[in-house]
Structure 1
Amino acid sequence: MATEVNVPTLGESITEATVGEWLKQPGDAVAADEPIASLETDKVSVEVPSPVSGVMGQHAVQVGDTVEVGALLATIEAGDGAPAQAPAPQPAVTESPKAAAPSGETPPVAGGYGNHGATPVTSDAPAALSPSVRRAVLETGVDPSTVTGSGRDGRLTKEDIAAAASAKTTAPAPSAPASAPAAAPSSGRGEERVKMTRLRQTVAKRLKEAQNTAAMLTTFNDVDMSAVIEARAKYKDLFEKKHGVRLGFMGFFVKAATMALKDIPAVNAQIQGDEIVYHDYADISVAVSAPNGLVVPVIRDAQNLSVAGIEKTIGDFGRRAKDGTLKMDEMKGGTFTISNGGVFGSLMSTPIINPPQSAVLGLHRIEDRPVVVNGQVVVRPMMYLALSYDHRLIDGREAVTFLVALKNAIEDPTRILIDL
């Protein structure tokens, strides 16, 4: 007797999802609670477990289909099942610029830095790859069947493909046979049309909604990072040994931000209808890189956490974002956002508010610049700070005061210790 597997409850206000990938193919042995499919929602990817042990039946929907909560995904047939077999081979992907990109992924830029000398992915490549891994395979030309996965259940990650590509480029290239004909240069100008992922559609909608609704303004300041860099260099080894996590800059900024939010409560408030809601707590949303794009989990009650507690929370978010195991409840309800574009090399930006929040802090790269200190021109490691805020609620004076309070705490970290 077959057991139906339906789309589970996905969270508050989420009624549908997109089938991201099938983790089990028809005929594969399935254990109870073993993931058989991955669904993409507006916020995260959700794995669907099998309710019983048995053999994977037929898929009721295909990758890329939109399914509603409660809809039939597949069936699990009774029986012991055979060992999981390799998925059916996919059609070969050629080097033609018009080859279709994986659903939900951004295509390589035509004529740009896409597949330079990449070997086409053949039909021997496994089909059960995440969209980001398939994209990495297309860009690098690495044969995924030759790479050992480091992800959950031995699955490949983008990092695995990147490492294999790096090893491939450093290895000595074999001499080409004399009889091999030279490859004809590509002369076409290709275009690709791919469907936006559900996450990207939601991000686009919310960001445009923020621009249309809020009276957005950005105020800038800069901060001398000398004291934090010195403290980090002095204590990072002891910190990691004691707390089991690396000491980064985000711990300092999150802690300093909670102090500044306490002094300037409007920056931590929200507009709801014709009312202003002030919070006596700071739930800080932090942007974290995930395989399908940036996600923004929330550090709850950050004002009560030490720098070590903040770093542990951020480290946990980063690991689970990479594994795709963040929960939707962990990305709801923030009161203030910090986005660190500096890790990607950004010098300056105007971040966009994450509704219904009223402000977002943008951090940028640290670089040595000449500054005047006590009448002398000296070189210091400086960072630009950007605070985008809803001018309907936050006045310019409050925005500037917030940034100055943050600047003072970072330039003199002792203030963080004595809550000054």
Structure 2
Amino acid sequence: MISEPFDPADAATWIARGRRPDHAAILADAWQRFPDLPNEADREARVARMRDRALALRPVMEAMSRANDEERQARNFGFTEGKVGRGEGDARDDAILRGRTLHGYDWDRAVRYASGWYAAHAGWEPEARRAGSPSPASLAYDQGFADGGGDRDDLFDTARRAFEAAPSPDARPAVQRARPLPSTWPKPTDEPLPARWTRRLLILGAPEAGLFGERASPPSDAALLLPALRAAAGPDELTVILVSGAGFHRLGEDMTAIIPLHGDALPADRRVGDRLRSLLAGRDFDDILVAAQGDYLRLLDLHAPALPLCRTMERTRNTVLQQRTHFRIWLERGLMAGESLGAGHIRWGKAVKGLTGKLGEFTARYAGKQPGRGHRIIVETPEGRLATGYVSARGEPLSPETIIGNRAHLRKTMAARLRAFGGATRLTATPVPDLLDLAAA
């Protein structure tokens, strides 16, 4: 056990600490032949004893270093072989493996070989040679450069290879999809324009809606989003489509037909896409969010032509926590009937006294804690004055001061106030100073 007394002269001590038996024997032998001298011994003698022991331990230290390096190289080559085997490798990965196969290079020299080969293949100039005798790495680079078609002795070699590597003017450009797949849509941000709930579409995977079927557990990469949707204001006017192993469903329909989806049984039937078209028929959308992961997202990609094109198309991604954050950002961009909100990205910053946020001409600032009241938030104009005299689209006056009880809601409340003022109308004009007062000043 590690808690037992440490005896460096015993091979079992080193084996218990992860050393190989042959290395442990050498370590124990060195400590047996050169044990520590007592503290009363001469200082020079103790230093000499430690020096002798270090010399005796050098072979095993070098062997351990070589073993670690061999393990590193085997791990790197294995990773590269796996990439190439899965079809994910590039030309540089192929060159690394070719350098090992043709020339017997280790990992470091194979990487240098690949760099030289790629430089020649891409039409680049070769690396400048350093003065002195060439190192094994530079020799491997030169070999790769030569195998790639480069010639250091040819004055016009770089120009020739650059011409050969340049794409032909007649080459057809890569075909780009006119309708991007949902899996390629960006994550939600606060930059797009807010949209009314009646013109928003939410596509939820069955796990995100909390519907997994019988004897099925929720996947670890899916965030439960339906409770947050029901807690938000305005989702009654929102169009929500569910994705399951049986296809597409409208939220609120009979949920008995919803079954889990497995990747080996994606329903690619044309009738599934027609079902999605029928659910969206007669509706116009300005904002679409896809909250589905894994196989549910792949099913949606199969039937992407059934989705409408609109101004904003986004999807949640990454960890469960990030998916919830993306969903919250998307919910905050919803507009109720008769409501007007300021659009754009809110710039957050830390002032000396606390958090600040800016949207357009308005600045929301944390004004500190008020005794017995809570935390105070104020909204200011560019002149540093309180934003007074503003009314919402419904004619309701907006107060430049807000008090909240929980500081954890500070950022959310500041964002809401900034967007409210961004979509507000000012009824009182800025007072113009009297010319006589200016002259007197």
Shorter-chain TM-score range: under 0.3
Give the TM-score, by structure 1 length.
Answer: 0.25
By relative contact order (CA 8 Å, sep 6+), the higher-ranking structure is 1
Could you say which structure has the higher strand fraction? 1
